Amino acid sequence: MSEPHLQFVAHDRRAAPSASTTTGVPAAASTRTLVPLRQSTRIAARSLGTTRAGDLTSGPGLRARATVTGTAAIEQVSSARAEARDAVPTNDLSNWKNAQQDPLWVRLTLIGLAVGSLLLLVIIPVANVFYQALSAGLHAYWDNLFNDPDTRHSIWLTLIVAPTAVGANLVFGVAAAWAIARFRFPGRSALTTLIDLPFAISPVVAGLQLVLLFGLRGYFGPWLREHDIHVIFALPGLILATMFVTLPFIARELIPVLEAIGPDEELAAVSLGARGWQVLWKITLPNIKWGLLYGILLCNARAMGEFGAVYVVSGHIPGQTQTMPLRVDRLFQGYNTPGSFALASLLMLLALVTLVLKTVLERRTQRELAEAAKLHTVEIES
């Protein structure tokens, strides 16, 4: 980075602050370090017309900046590139690389260890589940999964319990994350801690506390019995237990996303007369959609796989309160190995689908976060 140029720009910026509001790109591009420089390059490229409309998830500030003329932007791009080259000398890079290089045997041992333990801990067990499930043939596999009424019911039950718990946590999670990210209120940190509590509590304890509340000898038990309402050892208990252990997932996922995006657009919407629901549906939800989907996915994966808490409140009545993980356990203990592995493989398939979706969503969430962070940088500079 050449000294006079930097001084000139800095001077320019100080001397004519108003210029940065109309020609945001030059000001933003030529100040400070490498990171804003790169961003300014991208912004400049966008202003040339290479931008897709969808990429500009920005507030009014960036749109104003997009009015920079083409030639100014081209100049800016080339100067930014030159600066970037100057900033990191090439021979430094190669030294850096040499310093990183370990002797061959160290590298091979470490790689071998990593690959070996992955193979032993993940790949072989996963493959074995499918191998065991299919060992008696495809026909038996199908029979084990769908011709046993209790197993069929466990699949159906899981498909009721998990989405219900996710739905409840969706409403709660969005509300709680929004409150925590947007407002400072007494008890805010207490709320944040409370949301984390299910992560810290063992699922078995979570189940037990439900038994202590709703069990026949618990606080509400006798009243519930009198009114013939079933909570423990019935569907509501399963849902409550699942909700409890999956409570943090959506809220935890959304708080950083909401914080990164900032309140500006919501404030703008309110200032333009939007009502609460309009802000939620038109501004907040579209902004957090990928983070939200990611949270839902994690929440759902955990809800479907939950064992400990559900185990305590289930009562294990086959065909009534056995979810898929409980059924896998019971089949295995009943010496029905192919049956239990068949159901386990179905859970595993769900996990693999979740994993693929998770990877996709993770990328989108990160992009969303980066976009928000970038806007933030640009806005601070302008």
Partner 1 sequence: MTRIHLACVAAALVLAGLSGCSSEAGNSNSPAIELLNVSYDPTRELWKAINYAFTAKHEKEAGQALNIRVTHAGSSSQARSVIEGLEADVVTLAMWTDTDAVARAGLIDAGWESELPNNALPYSSTIVFVVRKGNPKQIQDWPDLLKQGVEIITPNPKTSGNGKLSFLAAWGAALDRGGSEADALAYVTELFKHVPVLDSGARAATVTFAQKKIGDVHLTWENEARLEVQEAQGELEIVYPSASILAEPLVAVVDANVKRHGTADIAREYLEFLYTEEAQEIIARNYYRPSKEAILAKHKEDFPEIRLFRISAVAKDWADAHARYFAEGAVFDKISEGSRGEQ
| Contact residues: partner 1, CB under 8 A | 160-161, 163-164, 166-168, 170-171, 211, 214-218, 221, 225, 228, 230, 232-235, 239, 281-282, 285-286, 289, 292, 296, 315-320, 330, 333-335
Q: How far is the CB of 164 from partner 1 (least distance, A)?
A: 5
Residue nearer to partner 1 on the CB measure, 74 or 216: 216
Q: Which amino acid is at 76?
A: Q
Q: How far is the CB of 171 from partner 1 (least distance, A)?
A: 7
Q: How far is the CB of 328 from partner 1 (least distance, A)?
A: 14
Angle between helices 285-305 and 324-333 (to 10 degrees): 20
Q: How far is the CB of 47 from partner 1 (least distance, A)?
A: 26
Residue nearer to partner 1 on the CB measure, 180 or 312: 312
Residue nearer to partner 1 on the CB measure, 316 or 367: 316
Continuous H helices in 183-319: 188-200, 203-214, 221-226, 235-261, 264-271, 276-278, 285-305, 308-314
CA 190 to chain centre: 23
Residue nearer to partner 1 on the CB measure, 77 or 157: 157
Residue nearer to partner 1 on the CB measure, 70 or 149: 149
DSSP string, 118-138: HIIIIIHHHHHHHHHHHTT-H
Residue nearer to partner 1 on the CB measure, 47 or 300: 300
Encoded tokens for 261: 């995006």
Q: How far is the CB of 320 from partner 1 (least distance, A)?
A: 7
Encoded tokens for 180: 């925590």
Q: How far is the CB of 251 from partner 1 (least distance, A)?
A: 16
8 A C-beta contact, residue 378 and residue 25: no
Encoded tokens for 323: 């979810």
Longest dimension (CA), the chain: 86
Q: How far is the CB of 122 from partner 1 (least distance, A)?
A: 21
Closest CA to 26 of 9, 42, 14: 9
Q: CA–CA separation, 198 vs 252, rounded Å? A: 12
Residue nearer to partner 1 on the CB measure, 119 or 216: 216
Residues 6+ apart with CB under 8 A from 266: 182, 279, 283, 284
